[in-house]
Amino acid sequence: MHTRTLGQGLEVSAIGLGCMGMSQSYGPNPGDRNDMIEVIRYAVDEAGVTFFDTAEVYGPYVNEELVGEALAPLRDQVVIATKFGWNIADGKMIGTDSRPEQIKRVADASLQRLRTDVIDLFYQHRVDPAVPIEDVAGAVAELVQAGKVRHFGLSEAGPETIRRAHAVFPVTALQSEYSLWTRDPEPEVLPTCAELGIGFVPFSPLGKGFLTGTVAAATTFSANDIRATIPRFAAENISGNEALVAYIRNLAAARNSTPGQIALAWLLAQQPWIVPIPGTRRRGRIDENSDATQVALSADDLADLDGLAARIGVQGDRYNPAGMAMVGL
């Protein structure tokens, strides 16, 4: 696995691992926690993954504990990113909370759960309309000065918010959804990152599984699968979006690769400071995703893929209305 550099010189593996699905959001959670610990360690030892993404709200809390236990023996080899910004009560999110005192409380609790003395990358998980972003950046700057955090990140923030935060304390990475069927960051966010020297970390780079070709109109999602609440995964929208995957599947066959590898290779080709974080629970997928760095797409391939969503169309929003209201602030 080769490496890439996000903002402020933070070097990570070209493809990271999003760990959320090991604790929530994609149907029944794994029955054996030790299996997930082994998958995380396999990603480091066998695939060369050095960039791991978690958050206090995943579980909540249990995903940080899982990642912390898994990576404790490998701590000096990896970069751990986690997130703050929610008010969590009785195991549920009940709104945003990025007050400086809350950020500092979360940092201390996350350090304990992650079994580390420093958080490599600390993201604001969602912009808090009630707290000026300057106050958020200032609080993280104090944590950096105290040696508890190394780098500051934002998630799903808009260009103005990014600029205001960066003016107070340098932003290392912006994390947002970005893939062949979610192109929202392209008009404004990616150019802002390029101008300011901020890395970009796409989550859901495989379209929450859709771009791997493993989801069909007949697929049913359990009540605890986040896709059951996402309009894009309604049966009628899946049917409308299948042409997108069919094109990717055909290109994958021609390039002796998988649809997921094509989707990741396309992202990697966009900019050298883009680092996708696909999630998985399986060693085989770790290998498949990591091998996407070896997939060579021609200029014609990239041009065809660039216009794919516009030509074919993408049906359904990527979040329900409440979720959509919290992005791009």
CATH of residue 129's domain is 3.20.20.100
Residue 258 lies in a domain: no
Q: What is the DSSP annotation of 129-168? A: TTS-HHHHHHHHHHHHHTTSEEEEEEES--HHHHHHHHHH
pLDDT at 78: 98
Please report whether residue 21 resides in a domain: yes
Q: For residue 28, is pLDDT > 90? A: no
Indicate the average pLDDT of the chain.
Answer: 96
Query: Per DSSP, what are the bridge partners of residue 202?
Result: 176
Indicate whether 237 belongs to any domain.
no
Residue 286 has a pLDDT of 98
Q: Identify whether 148 is part of a domain.
A: yes
Q: What is the mean pLDDT of residues 288-317?
A: 94
In a domain, 196, yes or no: yes
Q: What is the domain range of residue 64?
A: 3-207+270-295
**Overall average pLDDT of the 130-142 stretch:** 98
58 catalytic residue (yes or no): yes
Give the residue from 181, 142, 156 showing the smallest Cα distance to 318. 181
Domain-embedded: residue 303? no
Whether residue 100 is contained in a domain is answered as yes
Provide the domain count of the chain.
Answer: 1
- Which of 58, 123, 178, 247 is labelled catalytic? 58
Cα 164 from Cα 159, distance rounded (Å): 9
Per-residue pLDDT of 260-272, as tens digits, reads 999 999 999 999 9
pLDDT of residue 27: 81
Confidence of residue 98 (pLDDT cuts 50, 70, 90): very high
The pLDDT of residue 5 is 98
**Does 251 map to a domain?**
no
Query: Taking a C-beta distance cutoff of 8 angstroms, is the pair 67, 21 a contact?
Result: no
Identify any residues that bridge with 14 across adjacent strands, giving them in sequence order.
none
The pLDDT, as a whole number, for residue 43 is 98
Buried residues in 86-105 as b, exposed as e (16+ CB within 10 A): bebeeeeeeebbbbeebbbe
